[in-house]
Amino acid sequence: MSDEVGKIKIGLEVHCQLTSLATKLFCSSPADYRERPPNTNICPVCIGTPGSLPALNRKAVYYATMVALALNFKLSDRMLFFRKNYFYPDMSKNFQITQYDRAGGVPFATDGYIHLDSGKKIRLGRMQLEEDPAKLSYDGTIDSSTKTFVDYNRAGVALIEIVTEPDLKSPREAREFLNKLTSIVEHLGVSDLGLEGSVRCDANISLAGGRRVEVKNISSFKEVERALSFEMTRQKSLTSKGISIAQETRHWDDVRRITISLRVKEEEQDYRYFPEADLVPVVLSKGFIKDVKSDMPELPKERERRFQQEYNLSGETAQVLVKEKGLADFFEDSAKYSKNAREAGSWLAVDLQAFLNEAGKELADLEITPKHIAELVDMVSNAEVSRGAAKTIFLEMLKTSKMPRSIAEEKGLKVIADSKFVEDVTEKVFKENPKAVQDAVKDEKAINFLLGQIMRATRGRVDPAVANRIVREKLSAVKSSE
Ligand code: MN
């Protein structure tokens, strides 16, 4: 098994919309196409009526430069746009304006990389800027459709396409890679990846010596790991029966969670690329690149380092927190409101993650706020509740969104520091355990048994410091009376 896994090759092609732009890539139609009546967010340029001329969105180039630099890409000196010709209703012009990577053309940038947590380098072959096609809706499922609807509102929205080398060795690595990429893009603020359809992924996978299978249009990053795991199992089982894998393109059905063959590829499709004569070559000036660099926000890697220094977090905790910008922001707010940032980090990186994994939820699905975490952290720091009780409160808080202090009061989980109460309990425990008391008088170490009995009698609600003091007082009284 592990031998075969070592020979798996996975490559990804990620399309990501620059949703932070006000307008589309080549015209002034709004980039914000969602929730508009079909075919109302269009103009002659994005649907390509005769005589219309594209004009490159300067801000899109700016954002793409930011992404390229953050992903360690080399920017091309002179970028060209090409027409990718094809006939399909999602592109009314019958071509897509994109950037070609062969035969003299140059993409936006080449030779980038991302490091995984293990330090492994995933090479990014190229990155390009292109326009999104229209959105097609099928009447019914893929195989029984009779009608197809087309909505051009999305046509012309700016996309960046990032293509990895086949360096990924498992579906899990693919997921980790996508999480890293997502976090970087989110930190840059160029795209809201939470928006429906803002990121799409194609994946190709081949087993040892096998042919390459491409899985198209995986709608969310979470589905990528599933789709790849399915493909891996499917290909292995065919291979073990002596059936060879066809080079083909498959579709991921995220409802049935299987891949379905779309077409078996005989050869590469010929898109007849040719230069887009309506657009001039793009040359990024040194000044422009300098401006982008100086505007670059803090990236996950830098934030991880800062979290360790500023909040005294462990490297592991900081690493988990920056995996999602939303979580990292949530942590910083919690740290602002609480006395112990390190504790807040640990609740979010360990306990919260465990809960989310088990419940199959995301932080955004919960209704808790940073103030919830801060209050819980402070209650533990102030010894208002025991650590064990805090875990109970934490889970209840995630489920009900009630504030931790009110949960503690409702459930009677607050620590009792009242000396009189602790004295009474201690006396009772001493009476019930005369032998242990004698042992403790002789040997300091035996005191833990008595403390344990006190905790047990009060379900851990007694303040340990108070209990410790009272037990010692009572023991020395016993000693002096002997
Ligand atoms: Mn593309």
Report, as an integer, the average pLDDT of 86-109: 83
Sign of CA dihedral 186, 190, 196, 198: negative
Quick one: tokens of 330?
């949530």
56 CA to centre of ligand 1 in angstroms = 17
Strand, coil or helix: what is 373? helix
129 CA to centre of ligand 1 in angstroms = 8
pLDDT digits (tens, 9 = 90+) for 304-323: 999 999 999 999 999 999 99
Quick one: tokens of 48?
């390509």
37 CA to centre of ligand 1 in angstroms = 26
Q: What are the strands of the beta sheet with 274-275, ordered from one edge?
A: 95-98, 82-85, 274-275
Report, as an integer, the average pLDDT of 3-29: 89
Residue 1 has pLDDT above 50, yes or no: no
452 CA to centre of ligand 1 in angstroms = 65
pLDDT digits (tens, 9 = 90+) for 106-153: 789 999 999 999 999 999 999 999 999 999 887 655 456 678 889 999
Burial of 396 (0-12, 13-18, 19+ CB in 10 A): middle
The rounded distance, in Å, linking the Cα atoms of 250 and 63 is 32
pLDDT digits (tens, 9 = 90+) for 329-352: 999 999 999 989 999 999 999 999
15 CA to centre of ligand 1 in angstroms = 7
11 CA to centre of ligand 1 in angstroms = 15
244 CA to centre of ligand 1 in angstroms = 29
Residue 257 has pLDDT above 80, yes or no: yes
Report, as an integer, the average pLDDT of 182-189: 96
Strand, coil or helix: what is 130? strand
160 CA to centre of ligand 1 in angstroms = 8
Question: What does the pLDDT read at residue 17?
Answer: 97
Residue 148: CB atoms within 10 Å: 12
Question: What does the pLDDT read at residue 3?
Answer: 44
Q: Convert 97-117 to b/e letters by CB count within 10 Å (16 or more is b).
A: bbbbbeeebbbbbbebebeee
Report, as an integer, the average pLDDT of 380-408: 92
The rounded distance, in Å, linking the Cα atoms of 368 and 351 is 14
375 CA to centre of ligand 1 in angstroms = 47
92 CA to centre of ligand 1 in angstroms = 16
Residue 372: CB atoms within 10 Å: 23
SS3 string of 174-229?
A: HHHHHHHHHHHHHHHCCCCCCCCCCEEEEEEEECCCCCCEEEEEECCHHHHHHHHH
Report, as an integer, the average pLDDT of 441-456: 88
331 CA to centre of ligand 1 in angstroms = 36
The rounded distance, in Å, linking the Cα atoms of 90 and 193 is 22
115 CA to centre of ligand 1 in angstroms = 24
Counting residues of the chain whose pLDDT is more than 70, the rounded percentage is: 95
124 CA to centre of ligand 1 in angstroms = 15
Q: Where are the beta strands (DSSP E) in 254-366?
A: 258-264, 274-275
140 CA to centre of ligand 1 in angstroms = 26
Quick check: 111 and 133 in contact, CB under 8 A? no
List 98's β-bridge partners, or say none: 82
Q: Which residue has the tokens 């004295």?
A: 423
16 CA to centre of ligand 1 in angstroms = 10
Residue 392 carries which side chain, given as an amino acid letter?
A: T
The rounded distance, in Å, linking the Cα atoms of 240 and 229 is 16
292 CA to centre of ligand 1 in angstroms = 24
First to last CA, the chain: 70
User: In this structure, what is the dihedral angle of CA atoms 389, 390, 394, 400, given to the nearest 10 degrees?
Assistant: 60
Task: Please give the residue that has the higher pLDDT: either 411 or 140.
Answer: 411
Q: What is the number of alpha carbons within 13 Å of residue 445 lying toward its C-beta?
A: 0
Question: What does the pLDDT read at residue 137?
Answer: 82
Quick check: 198 and 158 in contact, CB under 8 A? no
Question: What does the pLDDT read at residue 144?
Answer: 61
Strand, coil or helix: what is 69? helix
Question: What does the pLDDT read at residue 129?
Answer: 96
pLDDT digits (tens, 9 = 90+) for 258-269: 999 988 865 666
Quick check: 69 and 191 in contact, CB under 8 A? no
Least reliable range by pLDDT among 3-12, 40-49, 106-115, 284-293: 3-12
13 CA to centre of ligand 1 in angstroms = 8
Least reliable range by pLDDT among 69-73, 82-86, 214-218, 220-224: 220-224
Q: Report all structural domains of the chain as residue ranges with CATH numbers, in order of start.
A: 8-290 (no CATH), 298-410 (no CATH), 419-481 (1.10.10)
pLDDT digits (tens, 9 = 90+) for 224-255: 999 999 999 999 998 889 888 888 899 998 88
Residue 417 has pLDDT above 80, yes or no: no
Crossing angle for the helix pair 370-381 and 325-337, to the nearest 10 degrees? 50
Residue 104 has pLDDT above 60, yes or no: no
Crossing angle for the helix pair 286-295 and 58-70, to the nearest 10 degrees? 70
> Which of 17-21, 272-276, 361-365 has the highest mean predicted lDDT (pLDDT)?
17-21
253 CA to centre of ligand 1 in angstroms = 21
Least reliable range by pLDDT among 82-96, 349-363, 412-426: 412-426
Sorted by sequence, the CB contacts under 8 Å of residue 35 that are 6+ apart come out as: none
pLDDT band at 400 (very low <50, low <70, confident <90, very high): very high
25 CA to centre of ligand 1 in angstroms = 14
> Which of 81-85, 100-104, 205-209 has the highest mean predicted lDDT (pLDDT)?
81-85
pLDDT band at 102 (very low <50, low <70, confident <90, very high): low
pLDDT digits (tens, 9 = 90+) for 47-81: 999 999 999 999 999 999 999 999 999 999 888 89
Q: Where are the beta strands (DSSP E) in 354-407?
A: none
Residue 2 has pLDDT above 60, yes or no: no
161 CA to centre of ligand 1 in angstroms = 6
Quick check: 168 and 177 in contact, CB under 8 A? yes
